[in-house]
Structure 1
């Protein structure tokens, strides 16, 4: 895979407050540049949600109501997030979640395409017992020494880990088109058009 031919791409991850539907409490967006995560231009936002963070959600990502009390609200940063995301490709683990929640919070926003590393992993590493982010980290063994010190289940760490897994899996494909065919679910933007039956008028 020639990473120099890739279009602009952001690995994204979001964390919520545990309500249904969730308010966002953290977003990370990590550019991939020349086949490497570019932490120098990455962005992350902590957000004070309209509704309190549930105890269950806080126990997973550690973002408590007290920690978020002085953070900006979504309305304060929405335009900044929209501007940074632009309309570029995004990638995420189980990308339906990021695509749905970012789209719900940013009406009218639409990426060029959405790569799902969960779908990609199932195509690349067949017959693994599990395809969670933790299971893939254990299987692939990516270099996470430069990952943010926030730890798992924080958006910055998970975006970095997802980026490393994405690049490791992409190396198994010869071309961008082959990669996209394996990585983009039919229901998300950027999915290849199905071949038309040439016998039909």
Structure 2
């Protein structure tokens, strides 16, 4: 599908947490997709000092230690800014339930127009892959990540960029935005197609 002009405003998002349950957010990235390209010049990225310390396991994954975050703003200082940046755009994320749930928990008044899940989309697009994890999809699709942020995997800005490139690669398999939505939006999340009603006699 190449008719990207028909797409609504879309932000590819990724969040990283501090490893507690439920997590405090330590990083958020929101990358606009415009005219079939990720627009890094308009991207939003925030590092957040969590209320509770980052666990050693989480720090080992994304590298955001308590020392790195010590001088960053607390969530209360950033919430309005992040809310305004996200607006009512569509969002896209890999395993989007997680990112949507955490953003909504931190921004209870926020409501996106819809939620694209690249994990769900990949399962519909590429049948019978042994794994649909982000690393496995990057290996399978081999998207151009030469312009990705240099921070590396498991950082929100990098993962959002990689997810955006995977979304655009998979979009070529669908003729229309509506077909993409039907394959990519999990039931019960914003933007999910209404189930077709069974015809009745009345």
**TM-score, length of structure 1 as denominator length:** 0.99
**Gapped runs of 5+ residues in structure 2?**
none
CA shift for structure 1 position 60: 0.2
Q: 1:29 matched to which residue of 2?
A: 30
In the aligned structure 2, how far is the partner of 1:185 from the partner of 1:77? 28
Once the two structures are superposed, residues 132-182 of structure 1 have per-residue CA deviations (whole angstroms, 9 ceiling, x without a partner) of: 000000000000000000000000000000000000001110011111000
Aligned to 1:84: 85
Q: Which residue matches 1:186?
A: 187
Are 1:165 and 2:166 counterparts?
Answer: yes
Q: Give the aligned length.
A: 201
Q: Which residue of structure 2 aligns with residue 131 of structure 1?
A: 132
Match in the other structure for 2:178: 177
Secondary structure at the counterpart of residue 109 of structure 2: coil
Q: How does 1:2-81 map to 2 (within 5 A)?
A: 2-81=3-82
Query: Aligned partners of 2:5, 2:23: CA distance in 1, in Å?
Result: 37
Indicate the RMSD between aligned Cα atoms, in angstroms.
0.7
**Distance in 2 between the 1:14 and 1:69 partners?**
18
Large movers: runs of 4+ above 4 Å: none
Structure 1 residue 200: Cα displacement: 5.7
TM score, norm. by length of structure 2: 0.98
Distance 1:17 1:197, change over 3 A: same
Where in structure 1 are there 5+ consecutive unaligned residues? Answer: none
Name the SS for the 1:161 alignment partner.
helix
Residues in 2 aligned to 1:136 and 1:75: alpha-carbon distance in whole angstroms: 35
**Cα offsets for 1:36-83 (capped at 9, x unmatched):** 000000010000000000000000000000000000000000000000
